[in-house]
């Protein structure tokens, strides 16, 4: 009982290749590696860079190029069996890590007429931006939300949610989740239940309440109370209304979707935006510490995105195309052709702002 056992008995060196010796005496390098230690002075500038150095690269998934592969997944597996039938958008700088940026998971989800994706809940928060739908729906805490193209739908953390489809054509939406952030904190939990134990089906009263500036005064607010649905039919006219108030040289007209209860971002970790760039115009360069996923809604345009190497990547974007703008990459947006460019985007700005980290730089 009195013998002490070393925490780490003699064991082989760490498996990530040989220790970085960087001019250290080889014996010393081996010794500190054996002790599970590493010299800071060889990596300090990587750990604390002078500015963000994202692994994520500017990238686009043109919808016309990926749609067929998505439909093929519908012939390979059912939504029920897959639980969620999704092709994950993997940034080329993060291959194998199931993420579109360091902080954001994104995927294209397919649901076919008559299918159901079963009820579950998790501590990761999700938002969905609808790409195609003629009858797909999601239910959040039992409240059914019908999805129309370019609607934004929220599934905040720990809400029961399931999906279904009463229409005729494939239903597709972009899922954005804070999975990498929750994984960083190792704070992920999930539960699954059968449809019989699922929350009772109920009407989604939130839109009527919020439109009237009301909330239930009686009883405890239902767990699912809160605005979960931002229809395109509502947000698109708001963009035109805002345009009458003028536009910004760096951003055109950019509006943030908000949680009406707080006036803050739609989710604690993720922000969502609608943006309009007037036909034939180009925004001035801006860089932001947010990592963003951008979806084309109307018109045709180009995102000109700076890279760490000082080059620029030009991304052509049109309706339903999904692109990535990494943190701190200078961005200019061109609205080509004769129509206004309308974009939706989501980003990790909410989490950064909550931590006092968000910055932007306009030049």
Of 158 and 358, nearer to ligand 1HN (C-beta) is 158
Q: How far is the CB of 162 from ligand 1HN (least distance, A)?
A: 8
User: How many angstroms separate the CA atoms of 133 and 165, rounded?
Assistant: 9
107 is a site residue for ligand 1HN (CB under 6 A): yes
Instruction: Choose the binding region for ligand 1HN from 29-37, 174-182, 271-279, 286-294 (rule: CB under 6 A).
Output: 174-182
Instruction: Choose the binding region for ligand 1HN from 16-24, 119-127, 191-199, 221-229 (rule: CB under 6 A).
Output: 119-127
Helix (H) or strand (E) holding 209: helix 206-212
86 is a site residue for ligand 1HN (CB under 6 A): yes
103 is a site residue for ligand 1HN (CB under 6 A): no
Partners of 121 in beta bridges: 191
Of 124 and 283, nearer to ligand 1HN (C-beta) is 124
126 is a site residue for ligand 1HN (CB under 6 A): yes
Scanning the structure block, which residue is given the tokens 């952030």? 181
Instruction: Choose the binding region for ligand 1HN from 62-70, 120-128, 181-189, 203-211 (rule: CB under 6 A).
Output: 120-128
Instruction: Choose the binding region for ligand 1HN from 122-130, 199-207, 304-312, 322-330 (rule: CB under 6 A).
Output: 122-130
100 is a site residue for ligand 1HN (CB under 6 A): no
Scanning the structure block, which residue is given the tokens 């989710």? 267
Size of the site for ligand 1HN (CB under 6 A): 11
Spatial strand order of the sheet with 292-298 comes to: 59-61, 322-325, 292-298, 341-347, 271-277, 253-256
What is the CA 163 to chain-centroid distance, rounded? 19
User: How many angstroms separate the CA atoms of 262 and 359, rounded?
Assistant: 22
Instruction: Choose the binding region for ligand 1HN from 13-21, 118-126, 269-277, 312-320 (rule: CB under 6 A).
Output: 118-126
User: How many angstroms separate the CA atoms of 106 and 86, rounded?
Assistant: 9
Burial class (CB in 10 A: 0-12, 13-18, 19+), 210: middle
CA dihedral 286, 288, 294, 297 (to 10 degrees): -50
Q: How far is the CB of 64 from ligand 1HN (least distance, A)?
A: 23
Q: How far is the CB of 138 from ligand 1HN (least distance, A)?
A: 7
Give the contacts of 195 (CB within 8 A, at least 6 positions apart): 116, 118, 119, 162
109 is a site residue for ligand 1HN (CB under 6 A): yes
Q: Are 129 and 121 in contact (CB under 8 A)?
A: no
Q: Which of 195, 282, 204, 223 lies closest to 247, judged by CA?
A: 282
115 is a site residue for ligand 1HN (CB under 6 A): no
Of 154 and 304, nearer to ligand 1HN (C-beta) is 154
- Please report, as residue ranges, which positions from 65 to 84 form the binding site for ligand 1HN (by CB under 6 A): 84
Q: How far is the CB of 21 from ligand 1HN (least distance, A)?
A: 40
- Please report, as residue ranges, which positions from 281 to 320 form the binding site for ligand 1HN (by CB under 6 A): none
Beta strands in 133-252 (DSSP E): 136-140, 143-146, 152-155, 161-165, 171-177, 190-192, 229-230
Residues in contact with ligand 1HN, shown as a per-residue x/- string from 139 to 168 under the rule CB under 6 A:
----------------------x-------
Of 178 and 321, nearer to ligand 1HN (C-beta) is 178
Instruction: Choose the binding region for ligand 1HN from 60-68, 172-180, 313-321, 335-343 (rule: CB under 6 A).
Output: 172-180
116 is a site residue for ligand 1HN (CB under 6 A): no
Q: Which two tokens stand for residue 262?
A: 């707080």
Give the contacts of 332 (CB within 8 A, at least 6 positions apart): 282, 283, 284, 285, 286, 303, 304
Q: Give the residues lining the site for ligand 1HN (CB under 6 A).
A: 84, 86, 107, 109, 122, 124, 126, 161, 175, 177, 179
């Amino acid at each position: 009982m009195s013998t002490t056992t070393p925490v780490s008995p003699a064991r082989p060196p760490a498996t990530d290749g040989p220790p970085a010796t960087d001019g250290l005496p080889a014996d010393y390098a081996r010794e500190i590696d054996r002790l599970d230690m590493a010299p800071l002075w060889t990596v300090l500038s990587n750990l604390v860079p002078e500015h963000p150095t994202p692994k994520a690269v500017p990238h686009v998934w043109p919808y016309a190029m990926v749609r067929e592969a998505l439909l093929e997944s519908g012939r390979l597996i059912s939504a029920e069996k897959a639980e969620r039938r999704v092709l994950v958008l993997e940034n080329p700088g993060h291959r194998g890590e199931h993420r579109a940026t360091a902080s954001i998971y994104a995927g294209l989800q397919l649901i076919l007429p008559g299918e159901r994706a079963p009820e579950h809940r998790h501590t990761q928060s999700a938002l969905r931006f609808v790409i195609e739908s003629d009858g797909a729906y999601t239910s959040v805490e039992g409240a059914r939300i019908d999805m129309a193209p370019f609607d934004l739908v929220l599934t905040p953390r720990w809400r029961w949610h399931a999906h279904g489809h009463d229409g005729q054509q494939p239903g597709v939406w972009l899922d954005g989740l804070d999975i990498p952030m929750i994984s960083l904190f190792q704070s992920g939990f999930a539960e699954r239940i059968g449809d019989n134990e699922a929350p009772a089906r109920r009407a989604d009263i939130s839109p009527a309440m919020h439109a009237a500036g009301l909330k239930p005064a009686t009883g405890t607010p239902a767990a699912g109370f809160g605005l979960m649905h931002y229809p395109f039919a509502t947000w698109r006219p708001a963009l035109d209304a805002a345009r009458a108030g003028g536009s910004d040289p760096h951003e055109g007209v950019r509006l943030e979707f908000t949680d009406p209860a707080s006036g803050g971002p739609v989710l604690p970790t993720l922000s969502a935006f609608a943006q309009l760039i007037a036909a034939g115009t180009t925004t001035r360069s801006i860089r932001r510490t947010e990592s963003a996923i951008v979806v084309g809604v109307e018109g045709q345009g180009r995102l000109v995105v700076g890279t760490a190497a000082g080059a620029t990547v030009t991304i052509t974007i049109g309706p339903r195309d999904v692109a990535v703008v990494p943190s701190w990459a200078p961005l200019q947006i061109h609205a080509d052709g004769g129509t206004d460019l309308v974009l939706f985007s989501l980003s990790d700005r909410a989490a950064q702002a909550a931590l006092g980290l968000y910055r932007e730089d306009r030049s």
